[in-house]
Amino acid sequence: MGQAALKTATTGAKVVALPGVKAEVVALPGVAGRRLVDRLGPWLRAALVNILPPLITVALILLVWQLSAHGPQSSLPPPTKIWEEARDLITEPFFWNGSQDIGLGWRILVSLQRVAIGFSLAAVVGVLLGALVGQSVWAMRGLDPVFQVLRTVPPLAWLPLSLAAFRDSQPSAIFVIFITAIWPVIINTAVGIRNIPQDYRNVAQVLRLNQIEFFFKIMVPSAAPYIFTGLRIGVGLSWLAIVAAEMLTGGVGIGFFIWDAWNSSRLSDIIVALIYIGVVGFVLDRLVAFVGTIVTRGTLTN
């Protein structure tokens, strides 16, 4: 980085004639030929700086893992064995050989669908409840203690109750997602609403905005950074909860796949599934964060 900057600085520097000194412009050898390299140089360097360290880390982990799980009496499979046993899962996420022998991509999609439904519900209900709690002192006094207690209940503890209530695994799993994701959305939205500057409320009052206009034109945009913080935490928790919930409810999801693989001692499959789950969770988090930066652009700075 530093060298590149120095290079551009020297080649791109203006020649300033000092009084009494005859300045001569000396053509650097091979400048024209290096143009493309110069232009690509910084970009390549930035890419290397960001990509190389994680690649090295992964390589090291794989190496240590391979060495420590190498022996025949090892209880966990080494990377090479995983590659042999679960190659189809890694290379073909979307194969379809009958209803129970399908690619992990399909299973992930089924889990994602559940998360999408549960999380969307949690987002809508959470923002509305959060707005209520943030806006009304009485709603806060009444609801906040209840929320604070309920939000500490672990997601899976809701599952038996929801199975009893819905009598079906699909809505129960969705309910667990919903109840997991909603608390951070409610709490962050409420904080965001409470932090709306009095100035904006005054503007709304002078314009005589009604409740609905105030909600959409002042509240939501003003609290958007807080709301998205809540949504980001919520989507992370949903993804944590769905895998656990699916282990218990069965069906097609990625969680049940892990449980099923454990019951038939396919350890390699489990490890591949874990990596899938991690990558998808990472992408989900970044996705919500990305949407957040687009939506709240301009809101944070004044």
Partner 1 sequence: MSYLKIDHVDKRFQRGAATTEVLKDINLVIDKGEYVSVIGHSGCGKSTLLNIIAGLTPVSAGAVLLEGKEVNSPGPERAVVFQNHSLLPWLTVYDNVALAVNKVFGGQKSKAERHDWIMHNLDLVQMAHARDKRPAEISGGMKQRVGIARGLAMEPKILLLDEPFGALDALTRAHLQDSIMQIHAALGNTMIMITHDVDEAVLLSDRIVMMTNGPSARIGEVLDVRLERPRKRLDLVADRSYIAAREAVLKFLYERHRFVEAA
Options 203, 274, 287, 291; binder of partner 1; rule CB under 8 A: 203
- We find the least distance from the C-beta atom of residue 206 to partner 1, in angstroms, to be 5
Judged by CB under 8 A, which of 113, 135, 170, 299 binds partner 1? 299
Q: 181 and 121 in contact (C-beta within 8 Å)?
A: no
Residue 131 CB, shortest distance to partner 1, in Å, is: 17
- 183 closest CA partner among 127, 239, 105: 127
Output the CA angle 33-38-41, nearest 5 degrees: 135
Residues 214-253: x where in contact with partner 1 by CB under 8 A, - otherwise, as a string: ---xx--xx-x-----------------------------
Q: How far is the CB of 291 from partner 1 (least distance, A)?
A: 15
By C-beta, is 148 or 202 nearer to partner 1?
A: 202
Half-sphere exposure of 17 (CA within 13 A, CB side): 7
Residues of this chain, 179-198, that bind partner 1 according to CB under 8 A: 197
Q: Is 200 in the site for partner 1 (CB under 8 A)?
A: yes
Amino acid at 55: L
Which residues, other chains included, contact 83 with Cβ-Cβ below 8 Å and sequence gap of 6+?
Answer: 90
Burial, 172: exposed, middle or buried (Cβ in 10 Å; 0-12, 13-18, 19+)? buried
Choose the binding region for partner 1 from 90-98, 111-119, 271-279, 293-301 (rule: CB under 8 A).
Answer: 293-301
CB 148 within 8 A of CB 208: no
* Options 206, 263, 265, 294; binder of partner 1; rule CB under 8 A: 206
Stretch that binds partner 1, among 83-91, 94-102, 170-178, 200-208 (CB under 8 A): 200-208
Q: What angle do CA 85, 113, 285 make, to 5 degrees?
A: 80
Q: What is the DSSP letter of 131?
A: H
Minimum gap (Å) between residue 295 Cβ and partner 1: 9
List the one residue from 109, 209, 240, 289 that touches partner 1 (CB under 8 A): 209
**Which of 52, 207, 274, 279 touches partner 1 by CB under 8 A?**
207
- Helices 220-249 and 159-166, axial angle in degrees (round to 10): 80
Helix (H, G, I), strand (E, B) or coil at 102: strand
Residues that bind partner 1 (CB under 8 A): 197, 199-200, 202-203, 205-209, 213, 217-218, 221-222, 224, 296-299, 301-302
